[in-house]
Amino acid sequence: MFLLLKSTFAKIRKSFGRFLSIVLIVALGTGFFAGLREAAPDMLSTVDHYYRGNQLMDFKITSTMGLTDDDIKSLENLNNTAKVVPSYSIDVLVNGEAVKLHAIEKNINNITLKSGRLPKNKNECLGDANHFKLNEKVSFTKDNLNNFTNISSCQITGLIDSVLYISTEKGISSEGNGKLESFIFLPKEAFSLEYYTEAYLIASGTDKAEAYSSDYDQNIATLKKELEVLKPLQETKRYEEILAEATKEIAKAEDELNNKLKEAKNTLTNTKNELDSNKTKIDNGLAEIARSETTLAQESQSKQQEIADGLQSIANKRQEIINTLASFNLTVDNLENTLTNLKAAIENCQTNCEQLNTQYQTLSTINESLNTLNKTETELNQNKQTLQTSISQAQKKLAKQKQQLLANKAELEAGFKAYEEGLQELENNQNEALAKINEQKEKLNTLEKPVWYLLDRTANNGYTSFYEDASKVEAIAKVFPIFFILVAGLMGLNTMTRLIEEERTEIGILTSLGYSQIKIISGYIFYCLLATFIGVALGLSVGYYLIPTVVYSIYNANYVLPDLFISAKPVQFSFVFTCAAVLMSAVTIYVTMRDLKEKPAILLRPKAPKNGKKVLLEKISFIWKHLSFTWKITIRNIFRYKKRVFMTLIGIAGCTALLLTGFGLKDGINGIGTLQYEDIQKYDTLISLKDNVETIPSNLINSLENNHVTDAILVNQEAYTFTAKNKNHDVYVISPENAQALNKHIKLHSTITEKDTTLPDYGAVITSKMAKLLNVSPGDTIKIRDSQNHLYILYVADITENYIMHYIYLSPSYYKEIINNQNTYNMVMANVDSQNYDQVSTNLLKNEYINAINYTKDNMESYDIIIKGMNKIVYLIIGAAILLALIVLYNLVIINMNERQREIATLKVLGFKGKEISSYVYRETIILMIIGIIIGIFLGLILHGYVIITAETDNIVFLQKVNLLSYVYAILLTILSSIIVQIITYRYLLKIDMIESLKALDQ
Amino acid sequence: MAYITLKNIKKEYTMGEIKIKALDKASFDIEKGELAVILGPSGAGKTTVLNILGGMDSCDSGEVIVDGNNITKYNKHKLVLYRRYDIGFVFQFYNLVQNLTALENVELASQICKNPLDPTTCLERVGLAKRLKNFPAQLSGGEQQRVAIARAIAKNPKLLLCDEPTGALDSKTGRKILELLQEMARKYKMTTIIITHNAQIAQIADRVIHMKNGTVSEITINKNPKNVSEIDW
């Protein structure tokens, strides 16, 4: 046994090239096979490590009205939540670009600090490592910013990657031009919101489930079910809370108002009462004064009358006296004298004395009464005087009193006026307050129910697209490696067969020396296993490392991800090695056994060279005759070594087929961007509106026209889902305001009639891939569901050409009939006659109707980025195909030369020049190459047809057509590989030693 | 001056660490139209002489002059042309191209020569007029060797070199081959050199060059070479 091992190593040393070629073939086959197969799993396992290591949330819950502690508690109480973290995020503008501010959280959506340090206070923050610079000061702007944060700028103390943003496409934003450019993480205390903007959830069990796995999906689905139950409850609860709170507040406001009114009214009433009583008092006073005046007047009048009467009677009495006097011929004035005279006469007289006495008596009485009269008159006059004075005094007093009262009255009047004013004001205030209350009531009536959004990881741009990318790699990995391993396997077997055939003399010697069959076979098996093991080890270590790394680096251009995590794969390694070893050993045993059946004596003699034979073509003598001598030899040789010819054909055809598939795949992907975004979606922009409208507002029209936006039509675009093969797919339902107008922006090209068509009044036009997934044709019906899970059944009128995503086009009337009985529109589809899209965006976003602006050009660019990645994979395949061709062809040419060494040496001895010998040898290779290429093209078309369908993702249609140039490239590269092999092997050809080759029959 | 002259030819081979002197100052002449036999035991250096003379190998020192040309001075390309136009080889194991018929094997050689003989005529000369379209595998060993001779002479070479031409053949067939070679020399004045270890064969030669340990030990000239039918085998 030891000797056999020794002889095996001697064999390896002797023809190291052959050993190496087996090693390389095994390495290439297994390496490419395993490497490409493991690329997708490695990519997915890397992101899975990243997700789980950084505790990427499974769900993000947001609400249109924010989340409360109660909401958080309700989430925590769910059976299947492992973790609930309430948090904040808001969109702001930084230098005119939309940036999302997040709160720094621990133990969820962890950030990876690339440089710098964590913030120490709320004025410090962490910035996107791919966007900000360390120590940069960042200012934010946003309407009512201080409602959201208590800072307006921050200093970047650390640069980070976030597991939330693995894609360079960060999604959409409510700020700026609608495209989210970057992110910043702030300490939680920097936020001043009264409610949480979102809650991050980790579902129980997902810490043990690999991302994207069905296990993961199940965990998510379980929680999602619970969440879907909770969602309406909490929405309603929150709605009712808000409603109750608002109602309460309104009631309170009303109460307050009423109280205030009451109070004000009371005060006013009191004032009024006082005023009224004052008024009464004043009025009474005035009345009394009036009465006093009257009394006074009456009294003074009566008194004056009395006095006047007295005076009258006095006057009367005086008249009487005068009259009496007059009878005496006397007057009042001479009475006194008369009396004196009389008195004197009386005294002197005794005659007539009596008379005189009597006269005197009478006169004296008259005089006395006159005197009394005068006295009374004087008295009366005095009384009159007094009366006058006292009346005047009383009058004065009354007047004064009246004046006072009148002054009071004026005051009172002012009081009344103030009171009136107060009353008016009160009324005004009341109306105002009521109006306010009513307004709030009105608001309350139109209060919209809060809506929860349950966003699982698929809502994250990068999460889904990375999976899509990995799936594409996987789809391609399904087909290509099989071809590789097939060709490499055949080659390995062929080489091994050849090796043992050449060893027949040794087998003969060993047999004749009495070695057992098992010992002899085990020697070869050892050789073969050694080569296989080294090959597998080499192939897998290079393949497992190189191919996933290359593939990953290609995709990494679109992602922000950690380095590829390449796991050790002992199981896969053992499996591949076992398969390769079993296969190789089986051939070794088969071929060796075949030799061992023969007698040693026969084995010791050289195996007779393969006999020459006439080929069929020679019977067609008119062709054969015209062939040159070397051509005849070539043709005969081709038919002589059938196995080698077969192998060569497989190698070359395989190479051509792989190349054609690779280039065809490139054609298939590269073409569709232009087709979709230029030929089919002809519009330049899709402008989303803040509210649904029925007609285009004139303000908007002006704004659009002023910014070079033309051909604007209103469309309604909503996302729906449909289910095909147990998988949900998103589909956009587009309904224009006018079916004819849609043609200007979207090309509907029926795949049924192969003609351009217009939206029919009745029925939906659906896109081709959707029709294919659902396996429907015009006349069938399809089911779609909206986000609330409402089911709509649509009649399929036509199927239209489309390459990216799914769309359903509905005429306004059909939309009205099936989906919504009111035609409203949320988008404007238009062209832009300007190169400066940024300027257009900036200007348009100022318009109150416009929410966001999306450009078709941007869609195409993001598609192109994906395409670039795909192209690199195609290059990898092309490279590998060439490598395969080189190794296979090299091997075959070397085997060919070995087999024909004697023949070549003979030619050399005969004096053939180098060129003549090589053309003799290579001519058949060239013919085989031509035949191989032709076969390869047919094979390639079949392979390409399969690959393009396999590699196609659910929402993309690849082009089936292979460009002419791709055929040219595939052919040229095959020829190039063949030429390279010929150049390499030509040196080998020159080295063939005439003397050694011709000396003996073996060795 | 002789038609072919070898002067003090030296040739050493290195086999691992051992140097083997294959030829050590070997010298001899052969005249035009002669049938020469180089005779010696195995390892005497006769094949080496043939290789050098046939332009397949070079010597370390000495001169080989063929028809006035010093071929030791030839470069690789000139050696190819020398083999192509001046030399015809016959090997012990025939070295026919298996995939070519007898006629085609001859044509293979004749088509690259300046003044080739007609392949069919050549095959007729070696007595294979009826087997032109047979493949080597359909021919006996002697017949194959005759094809090889026909192929060699079709080139109309200056020199016909035969390395143990009868080594793989039974005596009856070998005799026929030797007769053919003798005929070539006698009838067509073809300078022919046969290498053999069989001393019997030497009797038919005009000149016998005995070799031993890489040197020429003796050169004998037969005034009256025997016919093939006369020799014992």
- Topology of domain A252-446, per CATH? Helix Hairpins (1.10.287)
The total number of structural domains in chain B stands at 1
Assess A608–B contact: CB distance below 8 Å, yes or no. yes
**Using the beta-carbon criterion (under 8 Å), do A902 and B95 form an inter-chain contact?**
yes
B124 within some domain: no
Contact between A473 and A651 under an 8 Å Cβ cutoff? The reply is no
Q: What angle is formed at CA A258 by the lines to CA A254 and CA A260, rounded to 5 degrees?
A: 115
Q: Where are the beta strands (DSSP E) in A281-426?
A: none
- The candidate with the shortest Cα–Cα distance to B88, out of B136, B42, B122, is B122
Which chain B residue shows the shortest CA-CA distance from A641? B99
Q: How far apart are CA A648 and CA A887, in angstroms?
A: 11
Tokens of A923: 């001519």
Note the pLDDT of residue A606.
60
Assess A14–B contact: CB distance below 8 Å, yes or no. no
Which residue type is seen at A975? I
Q: pLDDT over 90 for what percent of chain B?
A: 0
Chain A residues within an 8 Å CB radius of B111: 629
Note the pLDDT of residue A1002.
42
Note the pLDDT of residue A184.
94
Contact between A234 and A241 under an 8 Å Cβ cutoff? The reply is no
**Using the beta-carbon criterion (under 8 Å), do B99 and A994 form an inter-chain contact?**
no
Chain A residues within an 8 Å CB radius of B91: 998
- Lowest-confidence region among A19-23, A671-675, A731-735, A788-792: A788-792
Note the pLDDT of residue A351.
66
B80 within some domain: yes
Note the pLDDT of residue B7.
87
Distance of CA B201 to the CA centre of its chain: 14
Note the pLDDT of residue A727.
67
Contacts of A878 (CB under 8 A, 6+ apart): A658, A659, A662, A663, A973
Kindly report the CATH number assigned to the domain that includes residue B181. Answer: 3.40.50.300
Note the pLDDT tens digit of each residue in A463-520: 877 887 788 778 777 777 777 777 777 777 777 777 777 777 777 787 788 788 787 7
Q: Looking at the predicted structure, is the pLDDT value of residue A526 above 60? A: yes
Distance of CA A935 to the CA centre of its chain: 49
**Using the beta-carbon criterion (under 8 Å), do A636 and B100 form an inter-chain contact?**
yes
- Lowest-confidence region among A196-210, A278-292, A334-348, A845-859: A334-348
Tokens of A933: 């290429």
Chain A residues within an 8 Å CB radius of B138: 611
Q: Write out the residue range of the structural domain in which residue B188 sits.
A: 4-90+158-228
Q: How far apart are CA A279 and CA A282, in angstroms?
A: 5
DSSP helix, strand, coil percent of chain A (3-state; round to 5): 65, 15, 20
Chain A residues within an 8 Å CB radius of B151: 910
- The candidate with the shortest Cα–Cα distance to A884, out of A6, A7, A25, A1, is A25
- The per-residue DSSP string of A636-669 comes to HHHHH-HHHHHHHHHHHHHHHHHHHHHHHHHHHH
Note the pLDDT tens digit of each residue in A102-118: 999 988 999 999 999 99
Note the pLDDT of residue A153.
92
B61 within some domain: yes
- The per-residue DSSP string of chain B comes to --SEEEEEEEEEEEETTEEEEEEEEEEEEE-TT-EEEEE--TTSSHHHHHHHHTTSS--SEEEEEETTEEGGG--HHHHHHHHHHHEEEE-TT----TTS-HHHHHHHHHTTSSSPPPHHHHHHHTT-TT-TT--GGGS-HHHHHHHHHHHHHHT--SEEEEESTTTTS-HHHHHHHHHHHHHHHHHH--EEEEEES-TTGGGG-SEEEEEETTEEEEEEE-SSPPPGGGS--
Q: What angle is formed at CA A875 by the lines to CA A872 and CA A881, rounded to 5 degrees?
A: 150
Contacts of A77 (CB under 8 A, 6+ apart): none
Q: Which of B13, B98, B161 has the highest number of chain A CBs within 10 A, making it the mutation to test binding with A?
A: B98
Select from A633, A912, A995 the Cβ nearest to the Cβ of B57.
Answer: A995
Tokens of A493: 């077997």
**Using the beta-carbon criterion (under 8 Å), do A998 and B91 form an inter-chain contact?**
yes
DSSP A175: S
Which chain B residue shows the shortest CA-CA distance from A628? B111
Note the pLDDT tens digit of each residue in A547-588: 888 778 777 767 888 888 887 778 878 888 888 888 888 888
- The candidate with the shortest Cα–Cα distance to A710, out of A827, A828, A825, A833, is A833
Distance of CA A876 to the CA centre of its chain: 34
Residue A572, min C-alpha distance to chain B (Å): 46
Chain B residues within an 8 Å CB radius of A1003: none
Angle at which helix A629-640 crosses helix A642-674, to 10 degrees, equals 90
Residue A905, min C-alpha distance to chain B (Å): 9
Note the pLDDT tens digit of each residue in A655-678: 898 889 888 888 888 888 888 998
B109 within some domain: no
B145 within some domain: no
Q: Tell me the CA end-to-end span of chain A in Å, nearest whole number.
A: 23
Q: How far apart are CA B106 and CA A146, in angstroms?
A: 103
Note the pLDDT of residue A1003.
32
Contact between A228 and A87 under an 8 Å Cβ cutoff? The reply is no
B224 within some domain: yes
**Using the beta-carbon criterion (under 8 Å), do B112 and A916 form an inter-chain contact?**
yes
Assess A237–B contact: CB distance below 8 Å, yes or no. no
Each of the 233 residues of chain B gets a pLDDT tens digit; together they read 788 888 888 888 877 778 888 888 888 888 888 889 998 888 788 888 888 888 888 888 888 888 888 888 888 888 888 888 888 888 888 888 887 888 888 888 888 888 888 888 888 878 888 888 888 888 888 888 889 888 888 888 888 888 888 877 788 778 888 888 888 888 888 889 988 888 888 888 889 999 888 888 888 888 888 888 787 76
Q: How far apart are CA A6 and CA A902, in angstroms?
A: 29
Assess B221–A contact: CB distance below 8 Å, yes or no. no
Which residue type is seen at A990? L
Strands A153-162 and A124-128: parallel
Average pLDDT of every residue of chain A: 83
**Using the beta-carbon criterion (under 8 Å), do B101 and A640 form an inter-chain contact?**
no
Note the pLDDT of residue A796.
94
More confident residue, A848 or A112: A112
Note the pLDDT of residue A178.
58
Q: How far apart are CA B102 and CA B142, in angstroms?
A: 13
Note the pLDDT of residue A776.
94
**Using the beta-carbon criterion (under 8 Å), do B80 and A903 form an inter-chain contact?**
no
Residue B222, min C-alpha distance to chain A (Å): 30
Assess A338–B contact: CB distance below 8 Å, yes or no. no
**Using the beta-carbon criterion (under 8 Å), do A613 and B135 form an inter-chain contact?**
yes
Q: Looking at the predicted structure, is the pLDDT value of residue A939 above 50? A: yes
Q: Which of A617, A629, A907, A909 has the highest number of chain B CBs within 10 A, making it the mutation to test binding with B?
A: A909
Alpha helices by DSSP H, A675-732: 698-706
Note the pLDDT of residue A154.
93
Select from A610, A629, A998 the Cβ nearest to the Cβ of B98.
Answer: A610
B100 within some domain: no
Contacts of A172 (CB under 8 A, 6+ apart): A178, A179, A180, A852
How many CB atoms within 10 Å of residue B121? 13
More confident residue, A538 or A506: A538
3 state DSSP class of A821 = coil
Residues 86-115 of B with CB under 8 A from A: 87, 89, 91, 93, 95-101, 104, 107-109, 111-112
Q: Give domain limits for chain A.
A: 111-189, 252-446, 641-676+854-1003, 709-832
Assess B80–A contact: CB distance below 8 Å, yes or no. yes
**Using the beta-carbon criterion (under 8 Å), do A640 and B99 form an inter-chain contact?**
yes
Chain B residues within an 8 Å CB radius of A619: none
Q: Looking at the predicted structure, is the pLDDT value of residue A829 above 70? A: yes
